[in-house]
Structure 1
């Protein structure tokens, strides 16, 4: 072997070894969405488009999809996801209701719960509560990640006839008046390389995210760099500074404009449920900072409760229940409750729905 060949071969081997190590590491550490139909294949394709589709009215789940979200970035667990024929998470829904009482749960990623097993979701145990007329209860999960009140409204009308609900519950998070984040759509349409080579997908996403945040998302995520610098947990003024920095995300809940955006959409759903003689209810999902702060900051809940009162809609505020256990780890991040958080929410929701059923 001459020196010229040696100088080509050694760097090439180092490059291939580095690539192999990086690929193995990313396959072990990065979140991947794997189709159940790939079982037994050596080269597993990872593609969010196995699960999610982008429509003219926003994100929807793909009917009859069966995937595993490997090493989910929130809980770092493998989460099986089944989507039924209606494009909703969960088992098949019979066309014939018979004596079944159906509760339609509407909301975003907290309701969808792609980071939790189905039985861990805060609304899952509603199927076990006692109906006054002994009817079996079916919970229909119509949640979709990264959507707002406009998409929630669209999904309600898209799914109403097929799901035939007897009770509609809208689970509102503090940023639901805002439009969806939008970045996931920017990185859709993956080619073979990005679907099968984790390093290619990792590098592409990091580059596109950097570009997107620089061009469009800097203001929306300004709060992320402040959360570790402000004494929001003990200082009420610092908490308000964090809220202001998050005004394009969860901080929007402190603004009356959010209520003005939600009101006509809520009224549209409410008018339809009234027309069909179906009860409707709202739950308010707090941001984790509200739960862990020393002082109580309920401004978004007060605004939402006022709207619910004006519309004669019963409302459940989860914040007081979560604050009673603020010494525990209840969240994976600023908005997604972990299994323990969902368990506490389930206790409050079950009592809330039992009271509705008695009326």
Structure 2
């Protein structure tokens, strides 16, 4: 046997040993982590989407552990439309009224059960008032105005709504699309997420490492990344001036809302924009100037807006999740749902 052939055989043997060792390591890790309780409860599956970047995978019925301390884990059902809630036909049955509520994780109901999210509360309030309608919860975690427009154009308008509510959160809906920190494409996470090893590695990355990675990429400190995140999720004041924020909104979000306004008008579809303040805005002694500018600027676009700050401000901490001030709790959702029902009924959209 030549020296070259012997070398190739040795190389292949070493490679086989390395691969076998790696497989054995992950097999042992998988067994050990499963004994330790992984994969943990929770974890919505996502699918890649050409129009919207990503969507919840349809036909899920999952239990998530991101509820308030002391409560049972919440149930999350994702229907055939990749939206939260029970399934429904795309074609609207005769006599049915439909209201689409488009938004982000506040609309989705992060931290509350399906029937506690404010679109469900809106449906309940309409039924109690003698104006039954199917209220579609079209809220998706991480969405912004960019997504609202694209989802409606690609999917939402085809559902033949009788009224449209766009719930815009002051914390982060007015900027361009930002995805949650991911370690790979959605299809790869979908394929791997059922393994305990991947679940553990993903938790390690998201809970401990991604801030360091982001800081390294941006050339800033971890503290600056945390401050940016707190402002983005509505849990702290933004370091930008009110004028700087307004310019960003005008460039990134206002064109999306103007396009939605024009599209709704062309279809004869009533549109209500619900303005949802941040926890910080509600806790301030007076309405913050950036929020006032935001509210006034949206009004100048000719949008029919309802400001929910006067509703949520008196509630203080009572309207927000105790562990996540970026999202409403069950009481806050109930208050918002009831308020939106009054607005929809007052406009006579479901007669």
Q: TM-score, normalised by structure 2?
A: 0.74
Q: Give 1:273 deviation, angstroms.
A: 0.9
2:295 to 292, 305, 327: 305
Change (3 A) 1:351 1:32: same
Q: How does 1:161-310 map to 2 (within 5 A)?
A: 161-174=157-170, 175-187=172-184, 189-190=188-189, 192=192, 195-197=195-197, 198-205=199-206, 206-216=208-218, 219-222=224-227, 243-245=237-239, 247=240, 254-293=245-284, 295-310=285-300
1:137 to 133, 138, 143: 133
**Following the alignment from structure 2 to structure 1, what is the Cα–Cα distance between the partners of residues 131 and 334?**
24
**Following the alignment from structure 1 to structure 2, what is the Cα–Cα distance between the partners of residues 210 and 23?**
28
**Following the alignment from structure 1 to structure 2, what is the Cα–Cα distance between the partners of residues 194 and 267?**
41
Gaps of 5+ in 2: 1-27
**Following the alignment from structure 2 to structure 1, what is the Cα–Cα distance between the partners of residues 176 and 111?**
22
Q: Give 1:88 deviation, angstroms.
A: 1.5
Change (3 A) 1:55 1:140: same
**Following the alignment from structure 2 to structure 1, what is the Cα–Cα distance between the partners of residues 334 and 192?**
40
Counterpart for residue 41 of structure 1: none
**Following the alignment from structure 2 to structure 1, what is the Cα–Cα distance between the partners of residues 245 and 258?**
21
1:226-270 superposed Cα distances (whole Å, 9 cap, x missing partner) = 9xxxxxxxxxxxx9xx5343x49xx89953431342221111111
Q: Give 1:116 deviation, angstroms.
A: 1.6
**Following the alignment from structure 2 to structure 1, what is the Cα–Cα distance between the partners of residues 230 and 317?**
24
1:61-92 superposed Cα distances (whole Å, 9 cap, x missing partner) = 222222222x2265564222222222221122
Q: CA RMSD in A?
A: 3.5
Counterpart for residue 112 of structure 1: 108
**Following the alignment from structure 1 to structure 2, what is the Cα–Cα distance between the partners of residues 93 and 252?**
44
Change (3 A) 1:304 1:223: closer
Change (3 A) 1:85 1:215: same
Q: TM-score, normalised by structure 1?
A: 0.73
Q: Give 1:342 deviation, angstroms.
A: 1.4
Gaps of 5+ in 1: 1-15, 34-47, 227-238
More deviation in 183-192 or 316-325? 183-192
State the structure with bigger RCO (CA 8 A, min sep 6), 1 or 2. 2
**Following the alignment from structure 2 to structure 1, what is the Cα–Cα distance between the partners of residues 273 and 325?**
21
1:32-62 superposed Cα distances (whole Å, 9 cap, x missing partner) = 32xxxxxxxxxxxxxx4xx222323322122
Aligned: 1:96 with 2:106: no
Aligned: 1:32 with 2:42: yes
Aligned: 1:348 with 2:342: no
Change (3 A) 1:90 1:177: same
Counterpart for residue 72 of structure 1: 66
Change (3 A) 1:192 1:182: closer
**Following the alignment from structure 2 to structure 1, what is the Cα–Cα distance between the partners of residues 134 and 143?**
24
Q: Give 1:327 deviation, angstroms.
A: 5.6
